[in-house]
Amino acid sequence: MRYEAPESVEGAVALLTAATGETRVLAGGTDLLVQMRADIVDPDLIVDIKKIAETRAVTEEKGGWRIGAAVTGAELKEHPRLKQVWPGVIEAANLIGSTQVQGRATLGGNLCNGSPAADSVPALIAAGAVATLAGPQGRRDLPVEDVMLGPRKLALRKGEIVVSFLLPPRPPRSSDAYLRFIPRTEMDIAVVGAGVSVTLDSGGTITAARVSLGAVAARVLLVQEAAQAIIGTRLDAPAQQRLEAAARAACRPIDDKRGTVEFRTDVAAVLTRRAALIALDRARTS
């Protein structure tokens, strides 16, 4: 098993493009090393992207924030500004695993692991985050909701890596929130995850919204009907009911030991409403 830690994006892309066997990109390793240990994957080449400065940086860009794919959850939490602007994204990233896992786990890894239950992905989708990919044909931007196609299936082409994410500029009176349900209070995989982002006008009416649901379908969903249900409202009771109905209608979950189809669908509606109320409250005071 070959290990390489290139210092440039081009170096990483060249290694992955030239490789003939099975390859894996290593960011935090909190999924990859577990899968290697369990003999689920046995890569011929591991490309560690953490020595590439771009993947480890958090920078302001055109009024938004660019977050490197290999920035850890612990680093995001300690960032002095991100938590104010994108509290939902930060709380979602910080729900992944334990303190120890937070010291290693990354947004890029959480997305590229290809799990529909990944906690940071609904929050990134609700935020309107765009992933910047680099590959042998150069760079391209892809909305986060288009990166994952299904369990363990990504839209990345051969030799392509996720370099960073761009969170868009935030208008005044905007905020977001992420909630998930797990059977215990820490250290578990989402049964349902709900991310909501809203922007209000000066009168408190929602002018823009994005809603995303995790763990209720084969991929993390952008639920446009749910956003439409609350845009133009002040999230009063009828709007909350329409939001719940839209969230429920979007669910196509599996039955497993963590939750039945009925349970996941009910919880998705409840969490979407609660996350929307938290986002609204934050937006009023932001």
Stretch that binds other proteins, among 31-39, 192-200, 202-210, 245-253 (CB under 8 A): 31-39
Interaction of residue 37 with other proteins, rule CB under 8 A: yes
DSSP state of 144: G
SS3 of 125, please?
Answer: helix
Kindly tell me which of 46 and 121 has the beta carbon lying closer to other proteins: 46
CB of 93 to other proteins, least distance (A): 15
Residues in the chain: 286
Kindly tell me which of 34 and 149 has the beta carbon lying closer to other proteins: 34
Interaction of residue 8 with other proteins, rule CB under 8 A: no
The pair of three-digit structure tokens given for residue 98, joined into one six-digit string: 């334990």
Q: Which of residues 67-106 bind other proteins (CB under 8 A)?
A: 72, 74, 97-101, 103-104
Interaction of residue 155 with other proteins, rule CB under 8 A: no
SS3 of 178, please?
Answer: strand
Kindly tell me which of 103 and 168 has the beta carbon lying closer to other proteins: 103
SS3 of 148, please?
Answer: strand
Stretch that binds other proteins, among 33-41, 152-160, 163-171, 259-267 (CB under 8 A): 33-41
Strand pairing report for 2-4 and 45-48: parallel
Stretch that binds other proteins, among 45-53, 113-121, 167-175, 250-258 (CB under 8 A): 45-53
DSSP state of 149: E
Interaction of residue 146 with other proteins, rule CB under 8 A: no
- CA–CA distance, 114 with 171 (Å, rounded to integer): 31
Kindly tell me which of 30 and 164 has the beta carbon lying closer to other proteins: 30
Q: Helix 237-250 and helix 261-285: axis angle, to 10°?
A: 140
Distances (CA, A) of 83 to 1, 28, 29, 116, 123: 39, 21, 24, 24, 13
Stretch that binds other proteins, among 151-159, 180-188, 220-228, 252-260 (CB under 8 A): 180-188
Question: Do 143 and 126 form a contact (C-beta atoms < 8 A)?
Answer: no
Amino acid occupying residue 50: K
Q: Which of residues 186-215 bind other proteins (CB under 8 A)?
A: 186-187
Kindly tell me which of 189 and 218 has the beta carbon lying closer to other proteins: 189
Positive or negative torsion for Cα 38, 41, 45, 51: negative
Interaction of residue 125 with other proteins, rule CB under 8 A: no
Q: Which of 7, 8, 22, 34 binds other proteins (CB under 8 A)?
A: 34
Amino acid occupying residue 112: C
Interaction of residue 267 with other proteins, rule CB under 8 A: no
Strand partners, 192: 181
Contact set with other proteins (CB under 8 A): 1-3, 5, 26, 28-30, 33-34, 36-38, 46, 48, 50, 72, 74, 97-101, 103-104, 185-187
